[in-house]
Structure 1
């Protein structure tokens, strides 16, 4: 397992939102881990959601996915309560077990469907079980970032490395 620092990229173009402003207590209180959230910026309703890191897909649901790379695990949740859409508005391009490269399109999301149902489009990008002092923030709340732009770095010291997906299940 690699303990080399990892860089996390924005999965789409958007405005950075502090996790404390995500309208879901699990994410707002960093229960699963720290991170940043993005509000999609798009001229159309279609958003191609990309892999924030390279690694193995450990979960691939229409509204959320997670990727593990060595001792690191990242979770991307597309909107809040969008699980209730039961896949409507989402096209998933990968399956659990697939290897993906940072920047690969994993999901195509029609945000208009979520908007029509009144769901928040804020998307948490969570570093599963990370300790906040092991994360370097590259962007701040209110920044607008491009797809694939690096938004944070994460380093797991050798003595604290764990298999994150095995110890705390992420809410998908």
Structure 2
């Protein structure tokens, strides 16, 4: 069994996944993890783990670890509807990235002004066992701080 530390993509207040107001995430349909409520200004969103930037969308990205664990970072709820507004990519799909490396500028004020919840979600894709996610942070967390640990 391997333990992987998953970093917070943005600074803010750590939130348990069950408390996210979106059933797709709060019920673990995508996978299990945690979330961060970001501060009200623009922030850099960082890689939660090191590996290959497997998928890059304007509002989300997936980093695949060398061990084949996919970690999704989704910036905001329903932000796909913004068609990229409020997000600036700092890396390209296929890049090798280090844990904590800035991957995107996240314009939190633009997202909230458009009426969307800016919460940043981090889930281990296809992780079906919520008990595999441990040590979930609570309270204030720095971007790049350990948000949780997953055992696989």
TM category, shorter:
over 0.9
Matched with 2:19 is 21
- TM-score normalised over the length of structure 1: 0.82
From 105, 111, 116, give the equivalent of 2:113: 116
The count of aligned residue pairs is 150
Runs of 4+ residues deviating >3 angstroms: none
Q: Structure 2 regions of 5+ residues with no counterpart?
A: none
Give CA-to-partner distance per residue, 1:92-143, whole Å, 9 cap, x none: 1122211100011000011111111110011111111222222222413xx1
Please state how far the C-alpha of 1:12 moved relative to its aligned partner.
Answer: 1.5
Q: C-alpha distance in 2, partners of 1:28/1:71?
A: 24
Q: Which residue of 1 aligns with 2:74?
A: 77
2:137 to 118, 123, 139: 139
User: What's the CA shift for 1:28?
Assistant: 1.3
The two structures have a TM-score, normalised by structure 2, of 0.92
Greater per-residue strand proportion: 2
Q: Which residue of 2 aligns with 1:170?
A: none
Tell me the SS of whatever aligns to 2:117.
coil
